[in-house]
Amino acid sequence: MPVTGVQPFLHPFRQFSTLLPKLPTAQALRALQALQALPPLAPLASLLPHPRALPLPRLRLPSKVAGISVTFLKATALELAILTGHLLLYPSGVTQERRVAPVQPPPDAPRLPPDSRPPALLLHGFIDNRSVFVLLRRALAQHGGRHVESLNYSPLICDIRTAAELLGRHIEEICERTGHTRVDIVGHSLGGLIARYYAQRLGGDVRVRTLVTLGTPHGGTRVAPLADAHPIVRQMRPGSEVIEELKEPAPDCRTHFVNFWSDLDQLMDPLETACIDHPDLTAQNVRVTGIGHLALPVHPAVANGIIQALDLANPGAHAKGAPGGLTVA
């Protein structure tokens, strides 16, 4: 609806816009000069309502580009950058890590109080190796000098149960070598599922104090159906024997679970499969916003969350009170 009193000012502009294309060049130039003699805009502005009475639109940056979330685009770009860097580091993690027994001090040396924190064991995902934990391992080692080891399991292993048994043997060796009775585990993707099977189904809760999982398909994922040729991929499907075994009662499981899952993890289908949902387990699901699957073991904000989870003296006592979300973008 036009504002009262503005029409007289608009009339010359309308005439000018209509007649100008029909005028010869000389007359058009004179019309432009006459336009400069029109009343200035100040009187026009004075006839408008007070600015506060006008509904002014909010200026917002577009949250979507052609239907795609900007956050999703940023996360995808980060995933590609991490993938590129990981491909360069991959050869450095092909071989198994060297195991070195702790150096014993001389008998007459002053005794420092023993480190009560269990060793931390890092377990990679499917067709990956220990090089994925280069940054996380550095963060854990720098935080109070925690003893950290990484384990490579063979990509030729075709059964999660077998991999969990081998994990148990390795944990027994760590405990014997370090003098600790329990360990903490950080497992990425399939590594988290193997560690959970060991702790929940093979009596590994005696040895595993805290299990931190990153982007692990706890309920089974339907992503990449063409990958079903590999037996372990089939075991990660919803309804597989392994997934169904993990749903069975586990009333005496003593391991505390902290599960980081991302709302932009494209390998989790459906997305809620990345959450631990079991009535008998002491578990905390931490939602991470703004990054994808590959960034979970790399991002410094997630690393800080992992350090906090492992530093709790009695993790299970604070599971419900701890933050349930982590925004990193």
Q: What percent of the chain has pLDDT over 70?
A: 69
Distances in Å between the alpha carbon of 316 and those of 78, 92, 286?
33, 36, 14
Which pLDDT band holds residue 246 (cuts at 50, 70, 90)?
Answer: very high
Q: Which residue has the higher pLDDT, 34 or 77?
A: 77
- Which own/partner contact pairs does 172-176 have at CB distance under 8 Å and 24+ positions apart? 172/207, 173/99, 174/119, 174/121, 174/149, 175/207
Residue of 266, 326, 296, 294 lying closest to 68 (CA atoms): 266
Q: What percent of the chain has pLDDT over 90?
A: 53
* Encoded tokens for 297: 């073991």
pLDDT score at 119: 95
List of residues 6+ apart from 170 with CB closer than 8 A: 121, 151
Average pLDDT over every residue of 151-167 = 91
pTM score over 0.85: no
List the single range of 20-34, 198-212, 315-329 with lowest mean pLDDT: 20-34
Task: Give residue for tokens 């294309």.
Answer: 21
